[in-house]
Copies of this chain bind each other. A is one copy, B any other.
Amino acid sequence: MAAPKLGEFERIARYLAPLAAPGGLELLDDVALIDGPPGEQYVLKTDAIVEGVHFLPKDPADQVAQKLLRVNLSDLAGKGAAPVGYLLTTALPRSRNENWLAAFSRGLARDQAEFGIGLLGGDSVATKGPVTLSVAAIGRVRTGTAVLRRGAQPGDLVFVSGTLGDGALGLMALRGKLPRLKTAARRYLADRYRLPRPRLALGQRLVGTAHAMMDISDGLVADLGHICAVSNVAAVIEAEKLPLSPAARAAITFNPKLLLAALAAGDDYELLFTAAPEAATKLAAVGMELGVAVTAIGRVLAGTGVRVRDAKGAPIRVDSGGYRHF
Q: B-facing mask of A1-38, CB < 8 A → 1, else 0?
A: 00011011101110110111111110101111011111
Contact assessment for B8 and A92 in the assembled complex, using a CB-CB cutoff below 8 Å: yes
Q: Which of A123-131, A157-165, A295-303, A310-318 contacts B (4 or more CB under 8 A)?
A: A123-131
Contacts of A104 in B (CB 8 A): 15
Contact assessment for B90 and A21 in the assembled complex, using a CB-CB cutoff below 8 Å: no
A122 → chain B closest CB, angstroms: 6
A301 → chain B closest CB, angstroms: 29
Contact assessment for A11 and B124 in the assembled complex, using a CB-CB cutoff below 8 Å: yes
Contact assessment for A54 and B125 in the assembled complex, using a CB-CB cutoff below 8 Å: yes
Cβ of A284 within 8 Å of any chain B Cβ, yes or no, is no
Contacts of A138 in B (CB 8 A): 34, 44
Contacts of A92 in B (CB 8 A): 8, 12
Given contacts A8-B92, A138-B34, contact A129 B126 (CB under 8 A): no
Which of B15, B37, B45, B132 sits near A38, CB closer than 8 Å? Answer: B37
Per the CB 8 Å criterion, the residue count for chain A at the interface is 72
Complex Cα–Cα for A140 and B140 (A)? 17
Q: B-facing mask of A74-104, CB < 8 A → 1, else 0?
A: 0000000000110111111000000001101
Given contacts A87-B44, A92-B8, A101-B11, contact A19 B127 (CB under 8 A): no
Contacts of A50 in B (CB 8 A): 91, 125-129
Among A12, A53, A121, A128, find the residue whose CB has the most chain B CB atoms closer than 10 A: A121
Complex Cα–Cα for A36 and B138 (A)? 13
Cβ of A109 within 8 Å of any chain B Cβ, yes or no, is yes
Cβ of A46 within 8 Å of any chain B Cβ, yes or no, is yes
Which of B7, B35, B91 sits near A132, CB closer than 8 Å? Answer: B91
Which of B9, B18, B112, B120 sits near A24, CB closer than 8 Å? Answer: B120
Given contacts A36-B35, A37-B36, contact A53 B118 (CB under 8 A): no
Complex Cα–Cα for A132 and B104 (A)? 20
Complex Cα–Cα for A123 and B30 (A)? 8
Cβ of A48 within 8 Å of any chain B Cβ, yes or no, is yes
Known: A15-B102, A20-B120. 12 other contacts (CB 8 A): A4-B126, A12-B101, A21-B85, A23-B118, A24-B118, A27-B121, A29-B121, A32-B120, A34-B85, A34-B120, A36-B37, A37-B37
Can you list 13 residue pairs at the A/B interface with Cβ under 8 Å? A4-B125, A5-B126, A12-B90, A15-B101, A15-B102, A16-B105, A21-B117, A27-B121, A35-B36, A35-B37, A44-B138, A48-B91, A53-B127
